[in-house]
Amino acid sequence: MQIEVLEPRSVAVVGAGYVGLTTGACMAEIGHSVICADTIREKVERLQVGDIPIHEPGLSDIVTKNLASGHLSFVVGAAAAVADADVVFLCVPTPQGDDGRADLQYVYAAAKEISQLMKPGTVVVNKSTVPVGTADAVAAIIDRDDIEIVSNPEFLREGTAVSDFLNPERVVVGAQETQAAARVAGLYGTLGAPIHLTDTRSAEMSKYAANAFLATKLSFVNEVATLCESVGADVSDVMKVMGSDSRIGAQFLSPGPGWGGSCFPKDTRALLALANDNECDFEMLRSTIDSNESQFDRVVGRITGLLGGSLVGKKIAVLGLAFKAGTDDTRDSPAIAVIRRLIADGATVVGYDPVAQDVVLEGLSKAVEPYSAADGADILVILTEWAEFGKLDFGKISELMNQALIFDARNLLAGEDLKELGFEYASLGVTENVAVS
């Protein structure tokens, strides 16, 4: 199908979180007229004056610019946003339910709330990650012949969400009807990205499959890193070789303390639940998830080993609380998963993160800067790959610590330089002081 670059449209976005706010602001940035709605009044009032409640590079500038130009506005409640919209994006949360399935209550409630408020011809778009069949369920709730439901999954990585939106590798549009598909695809026309047109179920499935594949890639990398430690290989060299094969690709090959965030953990579990519900045994995905849980334990095992076999009474300085660098998001953060285990095993943990400072966890005390976290510590552990951790004054850190010992679970630091400063330095996927048989 030929995708026309349509004239600017009226767009409503329901849910102004990481995804909705980025989507709304970027839609305004490319010329559309956008109203973003959220149920939290305080959040809306902050957004109305350009105060961004999340850390997302570049987002503040485009929100401020488009508020000033009148292309972007914020309102409380979906009902106030949708009356004149040509397209309504649903960007409300789809958290993991108790049974592993995606909890769709917010999607369904938003659909119900707006169902009778939209003008004929409006297209409703599921942007949140939702199980296969959700577009049909939303259509049943809205129950109008003059409204089409389209699936247009997001591929926005936190930390680079603005750039991912404005320079997408692809735009996926799943629809049962060509005019609705063209209307949604046309919104992105000026971006020049490849547009994949498909049916709603394939679009919903492709989002889950993409995230599950990436999670599987990371679990594989972390397992290979563990094996490298046992056999005396160096995971960074191994990954360089693997990544130079274009069939594998050089990205997403960094070992770490496990994968996390607001998407991978819930999306992998939701896909597994979907498979179970459809009597498909997706054994490999179960292993991917289990392997990630084991990775948290492996990291704790390495730290325990470095501290002589017990964490009781040890003081551990942790650098990094966010689930990855570039965001303040700590939802399902591997750093938190590891810290919980360290505390359970008897350690005292002091954590520092340059932006994720709102974490509240029993037993975790927080430092306002990295040096006070290191003060008196028996080991310094890197759990998030903030580049600024590589630029710290490690001479000073060594003097502050009880012993000069670092475990780098992001392979971020220059180990050789640290060893010259007198540190014992260990990281993932390399043999440290282990006799290789």
Contact with ligand UDX (CB under 6 A) among 17, 168, 174, 265: 17
**291: contact with ligand UDX by CB under 6 A:** no
**320: contact with ligand UDX by CB under 6 A:** no
Question: How many residues are present in the chain?
Answer: 437
CA distance 116 to 124: 12
Q: At what angle do helices 200-231 and 264-277 cross, to 10 degrees?
A: 120
Query: Which pair of structure tokens corresponds to residue 21?
Result: 């706010």
Judged by CB, which is closer to ligand UDX: 352, or 423?
Answer: 352
Site for ligand UDX in 183-212 (CB under 6 A): 211
| Residue the block writes with tokens 């005396």 | 232
**65: contact with ligand UDX by CB under 6 A:** no
| Residue the block writes with tokens 């049974």 | 99
**20: contact with ligand UDX by CB under 6 A:** yes
Least separation in angstroms between CB 330 and ligand UDX: 11
**156: contact with ligand UDX by CB under 6 A:** yes
CA distance 322 to 154: 21
Judged by CB, which is closer to ligand UDX: 145, or 169?
Answer: 169
**174: contact with ligand UDX by CB under 6 A:** no
CB neighbourhood size of 210 (10 A)? 16
312, 321 in Cβ contact below 8 A? no
- Residue 66 has φ and ψ, to the nearest 5°, of -80, -20
Contact with ligand UDX (CB under 6 A) among 254, 288, 292, 295: 254
**226: contact with ligand UDX by CB under 6 A:** no
CA distance 58 to 16: 16
**238: contact with ligand UDX by CB under 6 A:** no
Among residues 78, 202, 101, 214, which one has the least CA distance to residue 152? 202
CA distance 23 to 413: 35
Query: Which pair of structure tokens corresponds to residue 137?
Result: 């369920």
Q: Segment contacting ligand UDX (CB under 6 A): 134-142, 154-162, 192-200, 399-407?
A: 154-162
- Just list the catalytic residues: 263
Binding mask 69-108 for ligand UDX (x = CB under 6 A): ----------------------xxxx-----------x--
**264: contact with ligand UDX by CB under 6 A:** yes
Task: Give residues in contact with ligand UDX (CB under 6 A).
Answer: 14-20, 38-40, 43, 91-94, 106, 109-110, 128-129, 154-158, 211, 214, 218, 252-254, 256, 259-264, 323-324, 334
